[in-house]
Amino acid sequence: MATETPHVSNPHLLRDIQKLGAFDVSACFSCGTCTSVCPLSDGTTVFPRKIITYAQLGLEEKILASPEPWLCYYCGECTDNCPRGADPAGFMMATRRWLTTKYDVTGISKRLYGSKLAEWIGIGLLVLLAGLLAFWYHGPIVTSTVALSTFAPIQLVELADWVVLGVLSVFLLVNVFRMYYYTVLRIPGKRIPFSAYVKNVLILPITFFTQYKFASCKKDPKKHWFSHLSRYLGYAMLFVLAVFLLSEWQTDTYYPLWSPIMLLQYAAAGLLIYGLSGPLYGRLKKTENQYKYSHSTDWMFLLLLLATALTGVAVVTFKYTYLPWAAYITYAFHLMLVTALLVLEVPFAKWSHMAYRTFAPYFAKLQALRGTPLAGGSKSG
């Protein structure tokens, strides 16, 4: 079963991580200021310095075995206090990108993060595929009224929903399992009793639904946490609408503007767009530490999400203003964008963090039960 993690050094590790973010962690002289000022680092979870040291030493296996990068919510306190200007927070972000490429079994993630061209080709292919499907399989075009369900046959959309959901879940869960393998299973030490898995399982829904740790970040904690929570809630509501309530949501019938399903839809779109405005503005103006450096995948994620939300809003607007052609064409674009967004981002790119961040505290707990501190044996002198 579990064996001692090999101490093999990868001399290119720091360079590999550095490709995924702008920071100068080679300047780090390991003073520990970052760990000491971090509002989330405590006695059991030790970062960022430990992870930086691993990267400097090329200890790839140690970083793979660390759930810590996912426990960091990027408040930038460490970067503000770093006496070397090494930008530890930026390093942690780049490490998360690197880990995403490592958890992914297909290698798609590595390509997406590795080159913008691959990213564009991926998006292009998916958009094209969805566009062609919409073109081939769309139903009769009714122009007397806006009949979305007739245009896009509800059974087909529903089927596509569940297929995409199933396939993506499989990919994502495989990645999460790999994360579990690296962070828990492969760590040598005591056997973890099954009861521990059950006892700690509540961490998962609590983290998933509240992201409460995010709120402990020191600087403007509530602001960023709330912005993040709104885009997450907005998305979650749309997910429920699109997957479980599709037959109610996407119909040919015209609901009164204040019916519950319409209200739910307004709230979801409002929350999502509000939640996206913060990071988009921040990244554009580079207002705060966490927005100073943007990887191309960050932009892609935010812009795809925004475009999807806006086309969705447009479809509804066109429907209720009785503009059938505009509604159908926008709807086709909406489907194309949503396909690209879900298929690429959920299992392979930025969106996968919803799984990794949720599981990280759970795995960290389990890892601690192994009783083998990762940093063990590093005491010098």
Partner 1 sequence: MVEAVTVAPKTAEHYDVLVVGAGIAGMEASLTLGDMGMKVLLVEKSPTIGGRLLLLSKVFPTLDCASCISGTKTSGTSHHPNVTMMTYSEVSEIRRNDKDGSFSLRYVEKPRYIDTALCTGCGECEKACPIILPKETEYGLRGRKAIYIPFDTAVPKKAVLDLDNCIFCGACERVCPADSIDFLQAPREHEAEVGAVILATGFEPFPIEKKESYHYGQFPNVVTSLQMDRLTGPTRPFNSILRPSDGKEPSNIAYALCAGSRDKTVGNLRCSQVCCMYSMKQAQLILGTLPAADVTLYYMDIRAYGKGFEEFYQQTKAMGVKFVRGRVAQVEEEKNGDLTVYHEDTEGPGGKGKSTHDLLVLSVGLLPMRGIEKVFKNATLELDEMGWVKLRDETRSPSETSIDGVFSAGTASGPKDVPDSIAEAASAAAQAVGYVLSWREKTGAAVGIPLPKSMPVPMPQAVEVAAK
Vertex 108 angle, CA 104 and 114, to 5°: 105
Which residue, 80 or 252, has its beta carbon nearer to partner 1?
80
Residues touching partner 1, count (CB under 8 A) = 29
158 near partner 1 (CB under 8 A) = no
State the minimum distance, in angstroms, from the CB of residue 214 to partner 1.
Answer: 19
Which residue, 56 or 251, has its beta carbon nearer to partner 1?
56
State the minimum distance, in angstroms, from the CB of residue 374 to partner 1.
Answer: 10
State the minimum distance, in angstroms, from the CB of residue 252 to partner 1.
Answer: 59
| Residue 167 near residue 339, CB atoms below 8 Å | no
| Footprint on residues 72-91 left by partner 1 (CB under 8 A) | 80-85
Which residue, 35 or 308, has its beta carbon nearer to partner 1?
35
Per CB under 8 A, the segment of 169-177, 188-196, 217-225, 370-378 that binds partner 1 is: 370-378
Which residue, 261 or 375, has its beta carbon nearer to partner 1?
375
In the chain, what is the straight-line distance between the N-terminal and C-terminal CA atoms, in Å?
32
62 near partner 1 (CB under 8 A) = no
Burial of 189 (0-12, 13-18, 19+ CB in 10 A): middle
The site map against partner 1 for 26-55 (x = CB under 8 A) is: ---xxxxx-xxxx--xxxxxx--xx-----
- What is the 8-class DSSP label of residue 184? I
| Residue 227 near residue 275, CB atoms below 8 Å | yes
State the minimum distance, in angstroms, from the CB of residue 32 to partner 1.
Answer: 3
Burial of 1 (0-12, 13-18, 19+ CB in 10 A): exposed
Can you say whether the dihedral through the CA atoms of 144, 149, 152, 155 is positive or negative? negative
State the minimum distance, in angstroms, from the CB of residue 77 to partner 1.
Answer: 10
Per CB under 8 A, the segment of 25-33, 108-116, 206-214, 306-314 that binds partner 1 is: 25-33
Q: Where are the alpha helices (DSSP H) in 181-220?
A: 194-199, 203-210
289 near partner 1 (CB under 8 A) = no
| Footprint on residues 176-215 left by partner 1 (CB under 8 A) | none
379 near partner 1 (CB under 8 A) = yes
Q: Can you tell me the distance from the alpha carbon of 154 to that of 14, in angstroms, rounded to the nearest whole number? A: 49
State the minimum distance, in angstroms, from the CB of residue 44 to partner 1.
Answer: 7
Burial of 72 (0-12, 13-18, 19+ CB in 10 A): buried
| Residue 164 near residue 339, CB atoms below 8 Å | yes
- What is the 8-class DSSP label of residue 56? H
Q: What is the four-CA torsion angle of 121, 122, 126, 129, rounded to 10 degrees? A: 50
Which of 11, 140, 256, 376 is the binder for partner 1 (CB under 8 A)? 376
371 near partner 1 (CB under 8 A) = no
Residue indicated by tokens 């709104």: 230
Which residue, 53 or 200, has its beta carbon nearer to partner 1?
53
Binding site for partner 1 (CB under 8 A): 29-33, 35-38, 41-46, 49-50, 80-85, 373, 375-376, 379-381
